[in-house]
Amino acid sequence: MRLNFGIACLLAAIAYKLGGTITFRIAVPSNASSGSSYDAVIQVVAPNEVGWAGLAWGGSMVNNPLTLSWQNGQNVVLSSRYTTH
């Protein structure tokens, strides 16, 4: 979906079990180009029972950046990582 204020948005809903989904929304500037830095807005909606949710930016977990999130009391923890093995 392309929004009229210069941001492209991706929405993906992934089933983790029958009847349960995790939703990822990612918004980046519409003029973002490969190899350049830019800000991104990430929203992850997941039931508490999931425990944690992650997104592998390269499609697989190995040799790609990861974004992980989980609940810690009334707060949310967001962690960026990079896997090598």
From first CA to last CA, the distance across the chain in angstroms is 34
State pTM to two decimals.
0.69
Residue type (1 letter), 18: L
User: Is 2 a member of any domain?
Assistant: no
User: What is the sign, positive or negative, of the torsion defined by CA atoms of 37, 43, 48, 49?
Assistant: negative
Task: Calculate the alpha carbon distances from 83 to 2, 69, 79 in Å.
Answer: 31, 16, 13
Would you say residue 27 lies in a domain? yes
Domain that holds residue 56: 7-82
Q: What is the mean pLDDT of residues 7-29?
A: 78
Is 57 among the domain residues? Answer: yes
Tens of pLDDT, residues 36-64: 888 888 888 888 888 898 888 887 778 88
Give the rounded percent of residues in the chain with a pLDDT score beyond 90. 11
Number of domains in the chain: 1
- Assigned domain for 1 exists: no
